[in-house]
Amino acid sequence: MNDKNNGEDFVDTNVLIYAYDIDAKAKHDLAVARIKQLWQTKTGIISTQVLQEFHVNITRKIANPFSPTKARTILNRYLSWQVVTNTPKTILLASEIAECHMLSFWDALIIAAAKQGGAKTILTEDLNHGQLIEGIRIENPFLTT
């Protein structure tokens, strides 16, 4: 784990992708604002899984894919955040979380990394907004009140 800041908010892949995918329109704007806030407060946390998924999606799956070079440039910037490395212990914890909370393994891996990183919140649209899992609050930054 990289302890370059005092992270509190774990960012899931979908939020990071929307911050760079201008075709995502309203979600893009909301993601940009939230990511900007995390840069300012130096409270963002990501994992190696998020970095990997971001690269694949931003270079292959969005409407206007980025070049691998541009994707690497973006990834390199996020290395200044707290980055949780998924280890064998992370994988075992994810398996336990998936079983206990009846989640997909991949969602549980995000939660396990967030837990290991000391996150208070996970920013994602993939889990239930307001839910508390393993002591971490789930927040969907795309919900408007």
Q: What is the DSSP letter of 81?
A: S
Give the number of domains in the chain.
1
Sheet strands (E) in 14-135: 44-47, 82-84, 121-123, 132-133
- Nearest in space to 39 (alpha carbons), one of 84, 85, 81: 81
Residue carrying the six token digits 């002591």: 135
- Nearest in space to 130 (alpha carbons), one of 119, 139, 142: 139
- Nearest in space to 50 (alpha carbons), one of 90, 100, 98: 90
pLDDT digits (tens, 9 = 90+) for 50-61: 999 999 999 999
Position 67 in a domain: yes
Could you tell me the two tokens for 6? 């005092």
Q: What is the pTM of this model?
A: 0.91
Write the single-letter amino acid at 56.
V
pLDDT digits (tens, 9 = 90+) for 64-97: 999 999 999 999 999 999 999 999 999 999 999 9
CATH of the domain at 52: 3.40.50.1010
Could you tell me the two tokens for 108? 């549980």
Q: Residue 77: which domain range? A: 10-139
Mean model confidence pLDDT for the chain? 93
